[in-house]
Structure 1
Amino acid sequence: MAEEEMSAVKKPVGLRGRLTARFMGFAHGKLYKAVAEQLALTEEDEFIEIGYGSGMFIKKHASHVRMAAGVDISEDMVNMANRFNRQMVEQGRADLRLGDVRDLEWPDGSFSAAGTVESFFFWPEPVACLKEVHRVLKPGGRLVIGITANKDDKRDFSKVAKQKGFALYGCDDIVGMTKEAGFRECIITRRKMGGGVVNAIIAKALK
């Protein structure tokens, strides 16, 4: 896979990146729904999404929360997501920033819920990143991680993981990393995606 194709997935930039983000937003509709079900967001929640891309998850599944925040490493995605969620931004209920999960700019205990869809396997130093998410969650807060490609699936993702530059994790890996980061419990749910071809992992970690 060409370098620009890899970048369009990991850090979408330019026209290719914007088109990739839009495609991923629609293609991951079932995964978005599964993550949203585990988050069970209400009007009282303050929610942060890590790697929000086009902003479609917030638009479809978090537009009703008290406050939605997020970080993404692509400036193009920041602009795209802010346009896509313009009404929330103008109402002061969305704060979508350029940033890195290793250094979230919000104070301790700022959010009741956190989510990430198809970005966890790109996180550098995942335990350190999880510790930072843990820090900004309120006591009793929850983090939901949704990934399709994983090493517990019967399909071999090792080639595509190498091509696209992401890590492969299984259920035990995610449970272990969340506990190392300070989460008290991690509940795993498996969901069939892609016409039943892929058995995705939905992990819900509780602070």
Structure 2
Amino acid sequence: MKNNPKWKDFVDRTARKPEGKWAIKNYTHPRSHYRSFKIILDSLCLSDGDIYCEIGCGGGVLLNMALSKVSRGAAVDHSEAMVQLAKQINWRYVAGGRVEIVQGNAENLPWPAGAFTACASANMFFFVEDPGAVLSEVFRVLKPGGRFAMVTIARGILGRLTFGWLYSLRVYSDDEMRSMLAAAGFSNIEVGRRMVVMQVCRGVKPC
């Protein structure tokens, strides 16, 4: 099934690079993601002094939650449909000049070094082809002392039985994730599990 072109197209349109009516409907109210959004927000402890960046923003729901707490922010997604949806959901912040939402590549972020105090990624890292490059880019755009929080799917039998095999997700052990975060330059690294399948990662750019 994984090598079937129709299945690959389905995965792309519904998850890897969402587009179409189904994707718009589900990413407008991504209820299955709300728990991971809360975990990220609790981890980052955002305040009005923060400048926030989101990698793989999808429809912009987590972005909207974060923008209610920070001074300004930015987000990137490689799906044009998701960028447009994120702009619609966050139209007040867009109109007020408080957020920039762009279509782009997580492995080559369109912002200068040291632009943000907090970065987040929710439920997209398992699609990334070059995880080291993405983490290095997140590290680059953070200010010294900046925080990074991410939720992805953990390597394990349950993850493989649910989405891992069918969606060909790239998942990592906790030790592998710690090593990748350290290789990118992060300190104060924390990697753990929630609800068995959720891998919660945190790191800080040293001052």
Scaled by the length of structure 1, the TM-score of the pair is 0.90
Q: Which residues of 2 match residues 8-47 of structure 1 at below 5 A? A: 8-22=14-28, 25-47=30-52
1:195 paired residue number:
none
- TM-fit CA distance, 1:159: 6.7
- Structure 2 letter corresponding to 1:91: G
In the alignment, the residues of structure 2 paired with residue 83 and residue 12 of structure 1 have an alpha-carbon distance, to the nearest angstrom, of 16
1:104 paired residue number:
109
Q: How many residues align?
A: 199
For the structure 1 residues 185 and 158, does the alpha-carbon distance in structure 2 shift closer, same or farther, using more than 3 Å as the test? farther
1:166 paired residue number:
169
Hey, which bits of structure 1, 4+ residues long, moved more than 3 A? Answer: none
Question: Over aligned residue pairs, what C-alpha RMSD do you find?
Answer: 1.7
Unaligned ranges ≥5, structure 2: 2-6
Match of 2:155 among 133, 136, 151: 151
In the alignment, the residues of structure 2 paired with residue 143 and residue 185 of structure 1 have an alpha-carbon distance, to the nearest angstrom, of 10
Other structure's SS at 1:5 match:
helix
Unaligned ranges ≥5, structure 1: 193-197
Other structure's SS at 1:102 match:
coil
In the alignment, the residues of structure 2 paired with residue 15 and residue 182 of structure 1 have an alpha-carbon distance, to the nearest angstrom, of 40
**C-alpha deviations, 1:35-79, integer Å up to 9, x for none?**
110011110100100111010001123322111101100000000
In the alignment, the residues of structure 1 paired with residue 189 and residue 121 of structure 2 have an alpha-carbon distance, to the nearest angstrom, of 15
- TM-fit CA distance, 1:145: 0.8
For the structure 1 residues 159 and 85, does the alpha-carbon distance in structure 2 shift closer, same or farther, using more than 3 Å as the test? closer
CA contact (8 A) 1:134 1:183 kept: yes
In the alignment, the residues of structure 1 paired with residue 57 and residue 81 of structure 2 have an alpha-carbon distance, to the nearest angstrom, of 12
Other structure's SS at 1:76 match:
helix
For the structure 1 residues 176 and 5, does the alpha-carbon distance in structure 2 shift closer, same or farther, using more than 3 Å as the test? same
For the structure 1 residues 110 and 101, does the alpha-carbon distance in structure 2 shift closer, same or farther, using more than 3 Å as the test? same
1:76 paired residue number:
81
For the structure 1 residues 156 and 96, does the alpha-carbon distance in structure 2 shift closer, same or farther, using more than 3 Å as the test? closer
Q: Percent identity over the alignment?
A: 31
Scaled by the length of structure 2, the TM-score of the pair is 0.90
CA contact (8 A) 2:159 2:197 kept: no
In the alignment, the residues of structure 2 paired with residue 156 and residue 146 of structure 1 have an alpha-carbon distance, to the nearest angstrom, of 14
- Structure 2 letter corresponding to 1:119: M
In the alignment, the residues of structure 1 paired with residue 159 and residue 138 of structure 2 have an alpha-carbon distance, to the nearest angstrom, of 30
Other structure's SS at 2:158 match:
coil
CA contact (8 A) 1:21 1:53 kept: yes
